Amino acid sequence: MKTTHLHKQEQTSRRDFIKKVGLAYGGLVTTMSYPGININGAKNMVLRFKPYELQLKHTFTLASSSRKTTPVMLTEIEYDGVTGYGEASMPPYLGESHETATAFLSKVDLSRFKSPFLIEDIFNYIDALAPGNYAAKASVDIALHDLVGKIMGQPWYKIWGLNPAKTPNTSFTIGIDSPEVIKEKVQEAAPYKILKVKLGRDNDREIVSTIRKTTDKPLCVDVNQGWTDKKQALDMVSWLKEQGVVFVEQPMPKTAIDDIAWLTSNSPLPIIADEALQTARDLKHINGAYSGINIKLMKCGGMRAAFTMAKMARDMGMKVMIGCMTETSCGVTAAAQLSPLVDWADLDGNLLISNDVFDGIKIKDGKVELPDRPGIGVNKINS
């Protein structure tokens, strides 16, 4: 493609983009697709990407780590004057970063495809570019779904044939903290009908008891692999049931599959896999060991993979929940398109940050409310 074919606005936005990325990376990024029209006059899909740092409202503490920011990559695919938005969220413990996503996305050449509707072909190509890189792959998948939905003039829940009245309640996460801060967070979570509590350190009972002094709302619990003894885990799950907990997510290390299978078969509560599964391929390994799965777009590579996994898990008789990382409303609203298919949603990642750049999903009376807008249903509110 020749730059002489770019009109002025495209040249300016390209320059701005190169400038921003160049500033963030000291000139590391030099390769990207260019907007425009190819030499034969056919329309091209153009992928753009920009690193961004999410600022968290509270320090986020899990069983094994703490942090105040999350690196994300904001993507756009433009085709015939329509722009689809996407996002890769990359919490450090998952191994992706601005650098890895930049390296991966620099390899993507969408100009080889004549139409954005060739979703299967495009994702076979994206998958084959490199192993792993699931968040980076998701950022292309989400932007492509947004683009295609916008061209069709329909939101994805409609394209998938899902009933928007069947969206579930979504939980609001209360991180591990001092009793005083936990009380404050419970009050912040007033609009939610279900709370999610992160456990897995040495004060689990104290945290749950503190929350129970403030509210009797149902709780779900995420241990993030923090328990190591299966009998102690069963004691804890039984106690949590008495405390009004509805399910327990990833109670033990993902490698302890036999212990988890034992726990699930004895547990009075559903045991949900999160860290133990990445893509649909993992479902057959964990089937029988867990009662259900937590699907996240950033883990499985995007909306297409997530939809497939939700249907497969349902066919296997498993419970399904949809979750997210700390993300802008772009990633969270894309995930919400699937939510009429699931038992539980944990879609609060956009509410945990102070510098969102999109408007999308809303929570009404604790329930996911899908925007009546085409594509993934977001508007850009900041750049």
Cβ distance to Mg ion smaller for residue 274 or 356: 274
Q: Is 346 in the site for Mg ion (CB under 5 A)?
A: no
Cβ distance to Mg ion smaller for residue 211 or 370: 211
Query: Shortest approach of Mg ion to residue 323 CB, angstroms?
Result: 6
Q: Is 222 in the site for Mg ion (CB under 5 A)?
A: yes
Q: For residues 71-100, which are near Mg ion according to CB under 5 A?
A: none
* 321 Rama sector, left if φ>0, alpha if ψ -120 to 50, beta otherwise: beta
Cβ distance to Mg ion smaller for residue 45 or 135: 135
Kind and range of the H or E run holding 246: strand 245-249
Binding pattern for the stretch 295-334 against Mg ion, x by CB under 5 A and - elsewhere:
----------------------------------------
Query: Shortest approach of Mg ion to residue 249 CB, angstroms?
Result: 5
Query: Shortest approach of Mg ion to residue 192 CB, angstroms?
Result: 17
Q: How far apart are CA 157 and CA 374, in angstroms?
A: 10
| Encoded amino acid at 18, one letter | I
Query: Shortest approach of Mg ion to residue 29 CB, angstroms?
Result: 32
Beta bridge partners of 380: 358
Q: Is 259 in the site for Mg ion (CB under 5 A)?
A: no
Query: Shortest approach of Mg ion to residue 277 CB, angstroms?
Result: 11
Q: How far apart are CA 328 and CA 320, in angstroms?
A: 23
For the chain, percent helix, then strand, then coil, each to nearest 5? 40, 25, 35
DSSP annotation string for 277-341:
--SGGGHHHHBTTBSEEEEEHHHHTSHHHHHHHHHHHHHTT-EEEEE--S--HHHHHHHHTTGGG
Query: Shortest approach of Mg ion to residue 83 CB, angstroms?
Result: 32
Q: For residues 111-150, which are near Mg ion according to CB under 5 A?
A: none
Q: How far apart are CA 25 and CA 27, in angstroms?
A: 5
* Positive/negative CA dihedral, 327, 136, 292, 65: negative
List 274, 348, 356, 359, residue binding Mg ion (CB under 5 A): 274
Cβ distance to Mg ion smaller for residue 105 or 272: 272
Number of residues that bind Mg ion (CB under 5 A): 3
Cβ distance to Mg ion smaller for residue 200 or 340: 200
Q: How far apart are CA 299 and CA 346, in angstroms?
A: 14
Interface positions with Mg ion (CB under 5 A): 222, 249, 274
